[in-house]
């Protein structure tokens, strides 16, 4: 492994189907900042040296035009494109499939540019400085091939008032390592409770359940290992137009296969994000409060 500063990989290739727009480049901060700019600001402060954006080939110019003038000279930038044909092993992809194959496939698309330990996050989530500081410390002092981490948030701090969400429920060993990540889909906030569909039943999850918000710390070896798993995924889901190859599920596969350990890093940072249009005003208000409190400058880059 090289001695380069850790990289930050940002997942920005989603279609934002539930949100109804390109929220990755929408303004939420008081000076027009996107949500991911706060993550980049915190990452630079924490000591990260490079940002790798995973985007779709349909909108590279608008994406770059929105971000490069602000970040020029502040951190190294790189771009990777996620497309359905990448790493398919020549397998024919159904013409009816238009949605990307999920977050781990997006991460796999960085395989040829990764050269240092890295953290991976969603573009449309606010994670807080403490999460980036702890991730940086782990990546520079503990991370190694087969030794990874996931930043864990409390479920109650990650729910939306405006619709159901998907979260990776973290199950821990006594040593603090993750023994499994259960992908919980359609978690709804109902009268202050977290209710999730489990097959044909509805169950309640404790509000302090630790969940993954797609903030993981890996080395490039994890991405290399996942390539063979992706081929297995494609073989099993050739006709499933909705199937996704997701980071928490692949991390779970790695753990169960005995190929590595994933430590949970608890954080005191508060998470918030934009899944639905109705979340936007809440996020803007929270960023305004953090700015007034002096946590962030009014203009992040000037």
Residue 250 pLDDT greater than 70, yes or no: yes
User: H or E stretch including 194?
Assistant: strand 193-198
Q: Tell me the C-alpha distance between 279 and 163, whole Å.
A: 10
Least confident of 47-51, 96-100, 233-237, 279-283: 96-100
229-249: average pLDDT: 88
Q: What is the pLDDT of residue 99?
A: 77
Sequence-distant (6+) residues with CB within 8 A of 205 are: 155, 169, 184, 187, 194, 195, 196
Count of C-beta atoms within a 10 Å radius of residue 165: 22
Residue 150 pLDDT greater than 50, yes or no: yes
Residue 144 gets which letter from DSSP? B
| Cα maximum dimension of the chain | 53
N-term to C-term CA, the chain = 35
Residue 175 gets which letter from DSSP? T
92-119: average pLDDT: 88
Q: What is the pLDDT of residue 25?
A: 64
Least confident of 25-39, 83-97, 207-221: 83-97
233-240: average pLDDT: 85
List C-alpha distances in Å: 70 to 30, 57, 65, 67, 188.
15, 22, 9, 6, 37
Looking from the CA of 253 toward its CB, the CA atoms found within 13 Å total 17
Claim: this prediction has a pTM higher than 0.85: yes
156-168: average pLDDT: 85
Q: 7 falls in which pLDDT band (50, 70, 90)?
A: very high
Count of C-beta atoms within a 10 Å radius of residue 286: 14
């Amino acid at each position: 492994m090289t001695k380069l500063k850790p990289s930050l990989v940002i997942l920005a290739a989603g279609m934002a189907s539930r949100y109804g727009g390109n929220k990755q480049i929408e303004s939420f901060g008081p000076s027009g900042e996107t949500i991911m700019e706060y993550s980049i600001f915190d990452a630079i402060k924490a000591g990260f040296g490079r940002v790798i954006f995973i985007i779709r080939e349909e909108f590279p110019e608008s994406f770059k035009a929105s971000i490069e003038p602000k970040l020029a000279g502040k951190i190294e930038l790189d771009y990777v494109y996620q497309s359905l044909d990448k790493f398919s092993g020549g397998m024919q992809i159904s013409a009816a499939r238009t949605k990307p194959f999920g977050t781990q496939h997006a991460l796999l698309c960085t395989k040829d540019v990764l050269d240092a330990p890295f953290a991976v996050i969603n573009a449309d989530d606010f994670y807080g400085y403490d999460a980036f500081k702890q991730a940086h410390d782990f990546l520079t002092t503990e991370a190694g091939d087969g030794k990874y981490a996931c930043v864990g948030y409390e479920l109650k701090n990650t729910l939306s008032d405006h619709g159901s969400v998907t979260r990776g429920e973290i199950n821990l060993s006594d040593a603090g390592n993750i023994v499994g990540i259960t992908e919980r889909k359609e978690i709804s906030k109902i009268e202050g409770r977290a209710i999730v569909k489990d097959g044909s039943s509805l169950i309640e999850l404790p509000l302090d359940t630790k969940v993954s918000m797609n903030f993981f710390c890996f080395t490039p070896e994890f991405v290399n290992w996942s390539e063979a798993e992706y081929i297995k995924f494609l073989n099993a889901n050739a006709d499933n137009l909705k199937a996704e190859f997701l980071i928490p599920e692949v991390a779970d596969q790695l753990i169960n296969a005995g190929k590595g350990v994933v430590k949970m890093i608890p954080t005191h940072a508060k998470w918030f994000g934009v899944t639905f249009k109705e979340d936007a005003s809440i996020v803007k208000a929270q960023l305004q409060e953090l700015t007034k409190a002096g946590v962030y400058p009014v203009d992040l880059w000037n």
